[in-house]
Every structure is written in structure tokens, then in C-alpha cells.
Structure 1
């Protein structure tokens, strides 16, 4: 049968997820003689999403463990009956949210606010019935789920030695945050300030992206909890969409448009 993993308490990795270290502190009591790494995958989601993934098939005796971002491991009780001679396949991804599609992967994402046990139990049950033998769920996603997960499949080779096949699953949770000012019209030489509309707890880093990524623009960050940036004087090159990205427990992102005009004398 398929497995569901509903998680509420996990240690947070405080870093941009693309560079998080993978902790493996509580591995199961299996000593593997060799390891096979599958291609890592990145899943971008929002809070309260539920992610459905499909574990690679090894054989009927395979054992599956999912490692949380803090290193804790939980066993997945997946249905190991499969009429196939395939050794394994990479984790596949199907995304049912938006128009994203990836033919080399197979996962689904749905919003628990729109498809939940309480508000729409029929839709939730339908998602469960569509799960195949090696599918499992993670979610609803909370801040502590942001980071690197590891799926491990253990099986014995022809000599009876344990082999670990593992795959890093990076779950990046992005929250859209409004910026102040959301829209701004300034004249050449005027100062320009941009920040998140409200303070965000535990922010560790801030980045501002100007309209022209190759444009060498000087600006100063004045506060961290709102990711506020200030430029002393704007130029015509500053016209366009500005983006602020903050990294804390999750990723926070917002955009605003600046229009710079000339003073008519």
C-alpha cells in the first residue's frame, strides 16, 4: 500500500536550500557495502502544499527510509509487490499545480487549503486512490519542512550484501511577500527605498535584484528583518521590476516596479 507522511516537528536548515548540508544522523541499523546516488531533485512549493512522490522500485525485499532535514529517519511501509523485472527508476515527478511539467520526474503537489480532509474530503480521497504502490506523501508542508530530505532504498545484491540507493529531495518553500513601495514613480536623482511590507522573524540573508542584472548599482541595506535597501539617487537605468529575496526558515520573495522620469523644466 502507499504511505502517507504527515509531519509537524522537524529541525529547520538555516541556509539557502540549494546549499544545505544533508544530515544522516539516525540511519536505520543497516550497514550498506555500497551506495548508489540518484539524480537530486528540487521541489518548489508553498506552505500547506502536500507533495506526493514515487519511490524507485528495487525488489520485493527492499526497505525504504525517508530522512527528514534534521537527520531523523522514518520507515516507509510501501507495497513491495511489483510485476516487473526493472531494477530501479529515478524518482519521478508529476506536478498537478499550475502548468509545470517534467517528463523525467514524477511528483504531484496539491494545496491542502483547496483539497483537504475537512473542506473537500472527496478530492483528498481521490488523490489517495490515485496513489500507486510506491507512492508516499509529505505534508501539509510547514516551515520546518523546508530543506533537504533523503529517500533511501536498501536492497541486497547477488552476493547478499546491502546496497543503499539514495536520492536527495530538496523542498524549497517560497512565500510571496508584498513590498513597500509596491509601485513607485520617481525623478532622476531622487532617493529610492524598497523593503518587505512587514518584519519577518529569523531572516538570515537578503538579496536585491535590479531590473538589469548586469547593471552595477550601488545600494545599502539598512535593516535585516524587513530586507530594506536604499539608493541615494535613481537613474534611468533603475526603471523596471525590482525583486527582494530573503532567506530564513523558508524563502521570502517580493517584486515591485519603479518608474524613473526626468524633471521637465
Structure 2
């Protein structure tokens, strides 16, 4: 028979796991709702809200933070995937049942309306499937990096933090590269908004990674960090170029 002490410990562990599961579930739902809100608010608000809650940097940052808070590398990957997948499901469920923008332009009802709405519904399903797959990859990588920043050795944490910074700022760096290097022409208001959003994402990545490194309370190798971050930014730009190409197909 287990002793009373062991029973108390087991009950405490179960309670801790329930609280952790609730926290991660709330994080996932909140992120999905916030991204949906950024789609429906007026443009004047959305231009500031979108980079904070509905960008690759914002979602990757959430996976990085929950991974940092996890108790092992394996659990960090699991909660990273779980939070991003739940956010994706929440976001597209709100599109499906609340905004219903996939029904745009469909006036008929009954069988005819269902047929006319089918392409929009298929488009939502494809996008949801694409981002669920992306959530698995991003959740594993960013969750694991968050745990590595927290618990890794000085060299390991330096590489992890530099990699995280580069990946988080990848979307913003890609947009800046497109406008400054590829476009090379006069900057119109639309591109200026993109630059503002991109700059916000890069700043968000820098601040977030700096805070996590500071919370680590142990030193890192500062010469390794910028080298890794530079290489990671280049990889992030390439990754977002591939993502952008895939989104155009969808």
C-alpha cells in the first residue's frame, strides 16, 4: 500500500499538471482569439496589433516562452506544438463560424449556396491544414530552443538564443529585404506600413530573447550569440520566402 506521503505527492503532481495544462490551453486559445481580432478591427488599429499577435514573430515567441517555462526538452516541444496547434484551430474556427468570410459574395441559399460557398470553405481548410503542419514544425523548434536557452550550457544557450532571435525576426527581416533590396523604388504608404510592421517584429524578437537570456541568470558566450543570430536571420529570410510562396499557392 502506498504511504500517505506518496499519495499526497502524487495528488500534488496531478494538480500541478492540471494547472499547467490549463495555462497552456489558455495561452493557445488567447493567441488564436487575438489573431482573429486583429483581422476584424479597423485598419488603423490592425496595423499596430497585427505584428504583436498575428505574425510569425508573435506566434514563434509564444512557443519560445512556453518552451522556456516547460520542465524538460521533450515537454517543451510538446507544449510548443500544442499551444500553436490550439491557436490555429481557434483562429480558423472563429473564421468558420463567426466572421464567415469564406461566404463572401455568396447570396444564394440551400444547395446552390452550398455549391457556391464550397471554394471558400476548401480554401479555409487548406490554409488551416498548412498552418497546422507549420505549427508542428515551429512548435518543436521554438519550444526546444526556449528550453535550451533556460537550461543549456553557456555555449549551448548562446547558440540557442542566437538561433531563436534569427528565426523570430525572420518574417520582419524578409519584409525589410523585399522592400529595401528587391523593390528598391520609392516607398509608398503600403510599403511604409509593411516596414513599420517588420520593424516591430524585429524589435519584439530582440526584446523577448534579451529578457529570456537575462532571466536565465547565467552567462552566455556573447561572441557566439551574434554569429549564430546572423546565420539564423539568413535562414529565417529563406524560410519566409518559402512560406510566402506556399501561401500564394493556397
Same fold (TM over 0.5): no
Give TM-score, length-normalised by structure 2. 0.21
Structure with greater proportional helix content:
2
Structure showing greater Rg: 1
Give TM-score, length-normalised by structure 1. 0.20
